[in-house]
Amino acid sequence: MKIQVIVNHKKIQMEVAYDEFLVDVLRRYGFNSVKRGCDTGNCGLCTIWIEGKPTLSCSTLAVRVNNKNLTTIEGIGEEAKDFAAFMVAEGAEQCGFCSPGFVMTVLAMKRELKNPTEEDIIHYLTGNLCRCTGYVGQLRAVKTYMGVA
Amino acid sequence: MFAIKNYRTPNTLEEAYKLLNEKKANTILGGCGFLRMSNKTIATAIDLSQLMLNYITEDADYIEIGGMTSFRDVEVSPLLNQYFDGILPKAVGEILGVQFRNVVTVGGTVYSRYGFSDFITALLALDTYVVLYKGGKMPLEEFLIKGSKKDILVKIVIGKKNKRATFHSIRNSQGDYSILNVAVSKKDNIFKIVVGARPARAMMAQEASKFLTEGEINEKAIEEACIMASKELTFGSNMRGSKAYREALCKALVKRGLMEVLS
Ligand SMILES: Cc1cc2nc3c(=O)[nH]c(=O)nc-3n(C[C@H](O)[C@H](O)[C@H](O)COP(=O)(O)OP(=O)(O)OC[C@H]3O[C@@H](n4cnc5c(N)ncnc54)[C@H](O)[C@@H]3O)c2cc1C
Ligand code: FES
Ligand code: FES
């Protein structure tokens, strides 16, 4: 089936199978920042935005995003770079495998939450697993980035 | 492997229902959170997204939640945060992450009557009805017992009389399923104690609820109600917890819930 989507402000026509998930289709069309981790809905690595909302691309059928606006990290490179500087400053990244999904969630949170508490931040980020850092450095970086004392 | 041979987006509920019942392997798509992990070969996947079933509305007496409403919409709904001490947002808020809750739906959850469900436990402590396209409106309690074959969950309807309500769950780790979940509500002197993830489906502890509703409320009565709830309900063992552990948890969580609605 053919679907029409806007990915990172660009209209694209995609050929998708009925049972194909968005993570595979986006990668097939060159959006390689989108990655599959657990493939069960647990890890958050495959997070992209659908109509601005952070959503699991491993759990979203591609046919269902017909005529929708999608955003991957390629589409918000500048913002991602800004946030990356905070991560580097806090030594908050190790292997980096979790980063694409994590960054998409943090940037969505920045848009959605006004004056969050540390608890709000932790709650928002619980869907992004990281096997290396132990989260402490990540939390420091996110708090500074969000302007939370 | 989960496979879909054909895909349709009906424009009416009638069309969706007809399609669903044309073949045994025709299937409604909720958020696909669970479906995708099955080995099902779906003949025709029926996507309800054209039917405007994603809503949370209110009138004078009821709150209605459409079948395609996501858990994230439940979580951030100002209306649902304002009613019943925010028990519904609280119950869904611990289910994995934001990006997962933007996927899974109210309809997929309630129609499936999952034993582990946090949302169903919270709903059962309220005056909740299920509206099915063919089966019509019935109390959630009845639906959980009877279930339904090849129907469509159109919406959930909740009596709006505000009440104190609270939800608690215990998990081995964040993001895991509940080992046990408990919801308690109180309107005037009427108590409802509901226990889910036993690991069987959520049930009201009828005797314990009645005991508190009809008796005097004091510390001794609360302790007794906790013991009654843990004795009248059945518990089982699975990889998350043993029968004995669940029974013990039940007492503790019911007490916590009762103290909160009485505070
Ligand atoms: C990894 C993972 C962890 C989870 N953890 C928890 C947890 O901790 N607590 C918790 O409470 N839940 C948990 N869940 C369950 C989740 O919250 C949803 O209840 C579940 O995914 C089903 O919702 P869905 O929208 O994805 O339905 P789907 O998977 O799309 O559908 C499930 C079933 O319902 C049918 N269906 C869907 N919509 C309708 C409708 N409107 N009418 C009739 N039939 C319909 C489908 O045909 C299918 O048979 C978890 C799920 C996953 C995948
Ligand atoms: S790959 Fe999608 S949640 Fe892990
Ligand atoms: S830095 Fe390695 S998984 Fe997060």
**ipTM of the assembly?**
0.97
Q: Which residues pair with A48 in a beta bridge?
A: A55
What phi and psi values does residue B78 have, to the nearest 5 degrees?
-60, -40
B108 touches chain A (CB under 8 A): no
Average pLDDT over residues A82-91: 95
Report CB contact under 8 Å: B98, A21: no
Nearest CA in chain A to B35: A59
A56 CA to middle of ligand 3, Å? Answer: 18
Instruction: Return the CATH class of domain A75-146.
Output: mainly alpha
The model's pLDDT over A14-73, given as tens digits with 9 standing for 90+, comes to 999 999 999 999 999 999 999 999 999 999 999 999 999 999 999 999 999 999 999 999
CA distance B186 to B189: 7
Percent of chain A with pLDDT over 70: 100
Q: How confident is the model at residue A112 (pLDDT cuts 50, 70, 90)?
A: very high
Predicted local confidence at residue A49, as pLDDT: 98
Verify whether the Cβ–Cβ distance A44 to B2 is below 8 Å.
Answer: no
Contact residues on chain A for B29, CB-CB shorter than 8 A:
61, 64
Q: Considering chain B, what percentage of its residues have pLDDT values greater than 70?
A: 100
Cβ neighbours of B31 in A, within 8 Å = 59
> What tens digit of pLDDT does each residue of A136-147 get?
999 999 999 999
Give the model confidence (pLDDT) of B14-60 as tens digits: 999 999 999 999 999 999 999 999 999 999 999 999 999 999 999 99
**Interchain contact, A42 vs B175, CB within 8 Å:** yes
Supply the pLDDT for residue B175: 87
- Over 80: is that where the pLDDT of A149 sits? no
Whether residue B26 has its Cβ less than 6 Å from ligand 1: no
Of the candidates B204, B158, B197, B166, which has an alpha carbon nearest to the alpha carbon of residue B183? B166
B 61-80 → A contacts, CB under 8 A: 72
- Contact list in B for residue A16 (CB cut-off 8 A) is none
Contact B174 A126 (CB under 8 A): yes
- Residue B232 pLDDT: 98
Residue percentage of chain B with pLDDT more than 90: 97
Q: Residue A3 pLDDT > 90, yes or no?
A: yes
Contact B162, B85 (CB under 8 A): no
Using one digit for the tens of pLDDT, what is the confidence trace for B146-201? 999 999 999 999 999 888 999 999 999 988 999 999 999 999 999 999 999 999 99
Decide: A58 in ligand 2 pocket, CB within 6 A.
yes
Kindly give the distance from the C-alpha atom of residue B107 to the centroid of ligand 1, in angstroms, as a whole number. 8
More confident residue, A116 or B162: A116
**Residue B112 alpha carbon to ligand 1 centre in Å:** 7
Q: Which ligand is nearest to the CA of A94?
A: 3
pLDDT at B52: 97
Helices (H), chain A: 22-28, 77-89, 99-112, 118-124, 136-146
Using CA atoms, how far apart are residues B175 and B181, in angstroms rounded to an integer?
14
Same fold, A2-73 and A75-146: no
Q: Tokens for B142?
A: 């009845």
Give B220's pLDDT tier (boundaries 50, 70, 90): very high
CA distance A54 to chain B (A): 5
Please give the residue that has the higher pLDDT: either B1 or B122.
B122
pLDDT confidence of residue B210:
97
Query: Rounded to the nearest whole angstrom, what is the distance from the C-alpha of residue B223 to the centroid of ligand 1?
Result: 35
The CATH class given to the A2-73 domain equals alpha beta
Which token pair is B129? Answer: 């009805």
Q: What is the mean pLDDT of chain B?
A: 97
For chain A, the domains span 2-73, 75-146
Chain A residues inside the 8 Å CB shell of B103: 41, 55-56, 59-60
Q: What is the model's pLDDT at position B1? A: 76
Q: Is B99 on the interface with A (CB under 8 A)?
A: yes
The pLDDT, as a whole number, for residue B130 is 98
Atom of ligand 3 nearest to the CA of A95: 2
Q: What's the gap in Å between the CA of A47 and the closest CA on chain B?
A: 7
Pocket test for ligand 3, best of A46, A95, A135 (most atoms within 8 A of CB): A95
Cα separations (Å) of B239 from A40, B43, B179, B236?
18, 34, 9, 10
Q: What average pLDDT does range B58-70 have in this prediction?
A: 97
